Chain A
Amino acid sequence: MTGAPPLLQIEDLHTWIATDAGPVRAVDGVSLEVAAGEAVGLVGESGSGKSMLARTVMGLLPDRASTSGSVLFAGVDMLTVSEKARQALLGPKVAMVFQDAGRALNPVVRIGRQITEGMVRHLGISRSEAQERAVGLLTEVGVPDPRRRLSNYPFQLSGGMRQRIMIAIALACEPDLLIADEPTTALDVTVQRQILDLLDRVRTSRGMGLVLISHDLGLVAGRTDRVAVMYSGRMVEEGPTDAVFDTPRHRYTEALLASTPSLDTPRARRMRVIEGSLPDPRRPPPGCRFAPRCTARTEACDESGVDVLRDGVLGHRHACVHPTGTPGATALTKAVAADETRI
């Protein structure tokens, strides 16, 4: 990034969570930047650390967690800032939407109160003005009959409607950055689509930054400027979305893309498989964490510290010792791909 300092700047972040069997290294040395108005995708499978990264930014970690590194938001370090100052940032500056809107909403408080609460507190406006703004917000997020909805309880609404309410609450204080953690995972495909269109619309009209966290590569592909891929607490690849999806360099990204069924690729009866499973997050391998499952592994992969992001063209960075696209490797990949995509 050049010019203005980024909106969010995460530097060498570690988030470890204490357990009886030793600390779980949920996030283990991750750096990420989000510019104002930019949409960044954060992808990875369960256990990759993507949600913990978001929770660290928001200060929503369990007491057992400890952190190091820095999370600069608009110049303020979210890790060391006082609780009061942090509270002042959450809402007006940065807001978050969670996967399960049914559980994130308070079940015994009316929708209207849940939307206006933050506005009254942070924007210093009257309850009646907040009420009027809430009607506007619900209209913006596509909730029909908004005035009547304000007096509803969450259980009276469908999953899609509840997620719209969550987004309205997140938008209420006009944040500069919205972190959406799997915002559509619990929703049906046609409803998911409505929510994704909504996020696109509000982001563009408000010039808001967006971090879209998902396990679904296809979902992130069509609607972000840049994408970061995480595996076992580490960032393995990062760059412009098209570059990462069209020419993945890291072996994990490449394998993940190849094992995801898609309507965009020729129909294959057998899917490409990543053998094995995630390493124990308490005792990760010393070098590249994907090495034990990787087909291109050599001894060099097991050396401590090899999995650092290497700069590439147009800011496309990866942490692979044997990146795809290197001479020799391409032929191998093609041979494997041909074998796997028998129709």
Chain B
Amino acid sequence: MGGGKTIGDVVLDLQGISLSFGGVRALQDVTFDVREHEVRAIIGPNGAGKSSMLNVINGVYHPQQGTVSYLGAKRHDVNTHEAAVQGIARTFQNIALFKGMSVLDNIMTGRNLRMKSGLLAQAFRLPSAEREELEHREAVEQVIDFLEIQAHRKTPVGRLPYGLQKRVDLARALAMEPKLLLLDEPMAGMNVEEKQDMCRFILDVNDQFGTTIVLIEHDMGVVMDISDRVIVLDYGKKIGDGTPDEIRGNQAVIDAYLGVSH
């Protein structure tokens, strides 16, 4: 229905990013930006450098060359913690959750950065700590409600089916109330129905909270449907950047995906 979202200014700007591991050049001079409120997809064949790109954005890797500007300020070698404090959350290709902990507790870890009371205050359940926990629990419940996982609140994550674990992973990231959400193959290994659900959730998050989203995905149908702009990587180089329609007609992209005869 008539989406009323307005794409804002550039929130994340990457200029000439190059990253290599010894002789392996994972990213070569990649430049692109992400605008506020948009859904930005990164696609490319296996080994194209997509996950490396996300890792650069949230501070896991530090590129040898190039600059990353976030919210207008240049960043220098931020680590993952600082990135999280700045409002960058992410989900992982291979779900990174505490399998033995309940769904609720897992999502609660997403609130960790926002908790102020100290270890002692929490251990003795001081009134201030209790109050704080209630606040955070409420925020977590909002996310649980949003992603419709009420039935699994108390279930250990390890016992849930894969598709649901992915949803919990997203819930944990959302609990951070991020400005920028990085999703690494949110739909990998899902069946059609689960994919549809996930698409709906991603669009809802984008719509309802105005969260800017950068996602990596292999399912072209999904990418073309939900993204505002798409960047295509191949062997660490940017070979395409534009709206889904532009990408669809881009010869370099078609070649990268379908192969070319030499």
Q: Do they bind each other?
A: no
